[in-house]
Amino acid sequence: MKARSKSGRRAALLYALLLALPRAASAAEVGQYIPGLVGLKSAPSPPPGFYYANLTLSYQFGQINDPSGKPQPFDGDINILGNVSSFIWSTPAKILGARYGVQVNVPFTNRAYLLDPSAGDQFGKTGIADVYVQPLTLGWKNADNHLNVRYGFFAPTGRFKSDGLTNTGKGFWTHMIGVGDTQFFGPNKEWNASAMLRYEIHTKKQGIDLKPGQNAVLEWGLGRTFAKVFDVGVVGASTWQVTAEKGMDGDSQFDYSAHGIGGEVQYAIPKARLSLRLRAIADVAARDRAQGRLIAFMLVWKP
Per residue in 238-275, pLDDT tens?
999 999 888 887 766 678 999 999 999 999 999 999 99
Which CATH architecture fits 6-301?
A: Beta Barrel (2.40)
Query: φ and ψ at 9, to 5 degrees?
Result: -65, -40
Give the pLDDT band (50/70/90) at residue 143. confident
d(CA 100, CA 178): 15
SS3 271: helix
d(CA 10, CA 153): 30
Per residue in 177-203, pLDDT tens?
999 999 999 999 999 999 999 999 999
d(CA 241, CA 75): 28
pLDDT at residue 57 greater than cutoff 90: yes
pLDDT at residue 29 greater than cutoff 70: yes
The answer to whether the Cα torsion of 253, 152, 239, 283 is positive or negative is positive
Q: Who has greater pLDDT, 163 or 94?
A: 94
Per-residue DSSP letter, 167: -
Helix or strand holding residue 241 (H, E): strand 230-241
Read out DSSP for 74-133?
A: EEEEEEEEEEEEEEEEEEEEEETTEEEEEEEEEEEEEEEEEEETTTTEEEEEEEE---EE
Per-residue DSSP letter, 24: -
